[in-house]
Amino acid sequence: MASSSFAEWQRRSDFQLGVGLLGMASFVLVAVFCAVLYRVSGSSSIKKITAHPYVLFAYACMLKPHGRRSDGGQQSALENFYSTQASVYDATRKRLLQGREDMLAIIAAKLQSRALSNRGRKPVWYDIGGGTGHNIEVMDRLVGIETFFEHVFLVDLSTSLCEVANERIRVHGWKNVTVLCQDAREIACTPSSADLITMSYSLSMIPDFYSVVDMVSSFLSPSGLIGICDFYVQSIVDVSSRNYVGGTFNRHVNWFGRMFWRTWFDADRVNLDGGRRDYIEYRFGTILSASERNYLLGGIPYYIFVGCRRDADIFAEQGEDVLAKLDAALTESPYLSPTRFQEQRAQDAQHNVPRSKSYESAIVNLSSDLPLPAAFYQQHHWRIHYNDLLSKHQQFGDEYIYAFNWEDPKVDRQILNINKDDVILTITSAGDNILDYLLEKPRRIHAVDLNPNQNHLLELKVAAFTALPYSDVWQMFGEGQHPDFRNLLLSKLSPHMSSQAFQYWLHSAHVFGSPGGLYQSGGSRHAIRLIRRLFKAFGLMAKVHTMCRVETLNEQKELWPSIRKILLSWPLHRAVVSTEWWAWKAAGVPPAQHALILEDYSQRTELPKSRCGEAIWQYVVDTLDPVVETTQISRDNYFYYLCLQGRYSRKCHPRYLGVKAHATLSKPDTFDGLRIHTDEIMEVIARISPSTLTIAILMDSMDWFNPGETVAHEQIVALNKVLKVGGRVLFRSAALRPWYTQIFEKNGFEAKCVGRRDSGKCIDRVNMYASTWICTKRFDLLMSPAGGLKVGTVGALEELQI
């Protein structure tokens, strides 16, 4: 009883403290405003001061008392608030109402993208709560109001703001714009008549917002768009159980922020209750969603939402049929109609039909009368739905590890001979090699990575090839910098990105404007920065730049010794390279792979594994010396050129960044076969139909497994199941013969070393791994009645299935 009373007292104390802090903050802000007004009045006339836009704004928002009469309704309340400041509204809202231009740029890009593929009638636009017509003027600069839209309706209840809007229309001479000074609920329009509806900082000022949102959803056309930008406050707990909100990146507002901003804006009858955003996301399908902060004015939270009808686009015509078609592509299984869910699920269980996580989530949402996950409303279906709140994804924070690939795709192509019939499963990493493989036009590529940010990077590259000319693609991924990246993201790339990837790059747009650019970002940047600092400290930068310019191998070899004596010096490796920090944080070498290097060195030299420093030093020597001796960095070895220069050159770059490659990758159907999975490899493999893959490219991922565990065995058995007979697994290893090759050989594969780092030779242009392997599936592993594995032939498998 005493503890209960104490807890109640503590809760009251916390509440009172919060209210007190809010009151103090409000008092300080008003006091500062009055002090500034007093100081300015000493040098200017009061008349000039009070005529200043921001003085009028501050007076109307902070000092002027609101009328308490309620008989005039919402229109009277709005007039009481806006009549004083209508003439200076636009001049004072640029800094406060951020995100409006961003939302309109996204919508304009989306509409233009649709117009290119579907040349129909011009869209009709309703701007609800449009105020002075600022949004229409912005859209006019983006697409041209009279040439792009059939008609535009500005709806607002404030007569003062509507007068400003009518004057703006007169000045611009727009003939297809009409101002409706009335309640949004009373708009006289037919159902499905609006192709675009926008609400810019108006939803938070509508008392009866439920009826307005319901009305808006009824007259939005099946292929229409809705765009909303507004203030909000929400805790991440509010949306933790919802899979349809398009991502939760930066969505959480802390307790003090929720209390302060809700109280502050309530004084001006602006309601920041999170339920408004919730209801929008419930009533519409999410295409893009982003949560931002207005840091110019103390970090005010605001959001951008671009959505559509829940039954929009492909669903309006094809119904749930499209879910099964997408599911078939993800699982490489035959198309099965999901029209009757219960019967279908019973059949699936009986015949062991694999289903993707996307399909299962869609079925759950449809059964619960919820919008589908945002991935289903995208223009493209490259990115597969995933739950970004799972701890396995959040462990990476907001950072990818690799900004570029360290595996040589030229060797991959020579070994694998990729063709149009191949179905490939590969790790995403930075996505460079996937773009290289796509130039060979395989039937399908399943890109898999547990780190969502690596997949965001691949998505960005795919969107860039889809929407941008070669010059912009080169700046972004050849030079790693683009001064206009944020504008390109909004106006060109946004229609071709998933909501999660868009949120990530909107928040990380600074990467392409920072001094180091893209290629000094990500976890691997630590190694690159340290090496460059060493070169600079020892006065080697000039020689490094020269080595990246020389035209012959002999010139390169002559420069190497003076660089080598620093880069491969024993003291440096003793202090840095042999440490665990360097291995994992900088070079991305996990403990299990680190152990493989030590084991190999111990067997070759008969020295104890405890001499870790010598083993790692020798491994780096065996990596770098052959690279300089046998490959031309300035012309062909773009991996090391990038590390030394921080960018690619026109002579030295990945194949996908060539002019001819851009012409191929920018074709409309290039990425139709790409599916990007954010999950573990085993989770993806488990949902793929047996004997459908032809190639699995695992990079060095199997080096990460612990020999004492069963994970490697389980993955190899799973690979045997999903690969066709004759299908191949390609992997690289830090060991000359990794321990898990024996597991491949015992489970239906023939293991063959196709590259071995011996006698100073490079196995590829990177030469970072000791060996490269191909494991070819020779026969199937069949499940015995007792649940164990037994060897079977193709004929036996067919007989069993019959």
Shared domain for 253 and 188, answered yes or no, is yes
359: how many CB neighbours lie within 10 A of its CB?
21
Shared domain for 220 and 240, answered yes or no, is yes
Is there a domain that residue 192 lies in?
yes
* Cα 147–chain centre separation: 33
* Local confidence band at 610 (pLDDT 50, 70, 90 cut-offs): low
* Cα 422–chain centre separation: 27
Residues β-bridged to residue 151: 124
Shared domain for 341 and 271, answered yes or no, is no
- Give DSSP secondary structure letters for 570-624: HHHIIIIITSHHIIIIIT---HHHHHHHHHHHHHHH---TT-HHHHHHHHHHHHH
Lowest mean pLDDT segment, chosen from 185-194, 354-363, 669-678, 705-714: 185-194
Q: How far apart are CA 218 and CA 309, in angstroms?
A: 9
Residues β-bridged to residue 693: 723
Residue at which a domain ends, from 629, 645, 661: 645
For residues 325 and 246, the answer to whether their CB atoms sit within 8 Å is no
Q: What is the DSSP letter of 383?
A: B
Q: How many separate domains does the chain show?
A: 3
For residues 719 and 711, the answer to whether their CB atoms sit within 8 Å is no
- Give DSSP secondary structure letters for 30-65: HHHHHHHHHHHHTTS-HHHHHHSHHHHHHIIIIISP
Shared domain for 535 and 635, answered yes or no, is yes
Give yes or no for residue 68 having a pLDDT over 60.
no
Residues β-bridged to residue 230: 303
Is there a domain that residue 743 lies in?
no
Is there a domain that residue 656 lies in?
no
Shared domain for 122 and 264, answered yes or no, is yes
pLDDT value for 251: 94
The mean pLDDT value for 514-528 works out to 87
Is there a domain that residue 205 lies in?
yes
Give yes or no for residue 54 having a pLDDT over 60.
no
Count Cα atoms within 13 angstroms, Cβ side, for 357: 16
Long-range own/partner contacts, residues 66-70 (CB < 8 A, 24 or more apart): 66/269
Q: How far apart are CA 456 and CA 729, in angstroms?
A: 25
pLDDT value for 10: 45
Is there a domain that residue 561 lies in?
yes
Q: Please give the model's pTM, rounded to 2 decimal places.
A: 0.86
pLDDT value for 367: 85
pLDDT value for 71: 52
- CATH number for the domain spanning 134: value is 3.40.50.150
How does the average pLDDT of the chain come out, rounded? 83
Is there a domain that residue 793 lies in?
no
For residues 748 and 763, the answer to whether their CB atoms sit within 8 Å is no
pLDDT value for 53: 53
Lowest mean pLDDT segment, chosen from 47-61, 234-248, 329-343, 740-754: 47-61
Q: How far apart are CA 114 and CA 496, in angstroms?
A: 11
Give yes or no for residue 537 having a pLDDT over 90.
no
The mean pLDDT value for 733-737 works out to 93
Higher pLDDT, 75 or 556: 556
Shared domain for 242 and 103, answered yes or no, is yes
Residues 6+ apart with CB under 8 A from 656: 432, 435, 436, 438, 439, 665
Give yes or no for residue 61 having a pLDDT over 60.
no
The mean pLDDT value for 295-302 works out to 90
Shared domain for 554 and 640, answered yes or no, is yes
The mean pLDDT value for 691-701 works out to 95
pLDDT value for 318: 45
Q: How far apart are CA 473 and CA 482, in angstroms?
A: 9
Domain housing 357: 318-372
Beta strands at 220-231 and 789-792: parallel, antiparallel or unpaired: unpaired
Is there a domain that residue 749 lies in?
no
Q: What percent of the chain shows pLDDT beyond 70?
A: 77
Q: How far apart are CA 547 and CA 624, in angstroms?
A: 14
Residues across the chain: 802
Q: Which residues of 614-638 are buried (b: 16+ CB within 10 A; e: fewer)?
A: bbbbbbbeebbbbbbeebbbbbebb
Lowest mean pLDDT segment, chosen from 266-280, 544-558, 578-592: 578-592
3-state secondary structure of 713: helix
pLDDT value for 77: 52
- Give DSSP secondary structure letters for 631-689: S-TTTT-HHHHHHHHSS--SSS--GGGSHHHHHHHTSTTTTTTEEEE-S-HHHHHTTS-
Q: How far apart are CA 524 and CA 400, in angstroms?
A: 9
Give yes or no for residue 757 having a pLDDT over 60.
yes
pLDDT value for 66: 55
Q: What percent of the chain shows pLDDT beyond 90?
A: 56
Shared domain for 624 and 533, answered yes or no, is yes
Shared domain for 287 and 345, answered yes or no, is no
Is there a domain that residue 744 lies in?
no
Shared domain for 207 and 231, answered yes or no, is yes
Shared domain for 273 and 199, answered yes or no, is yes
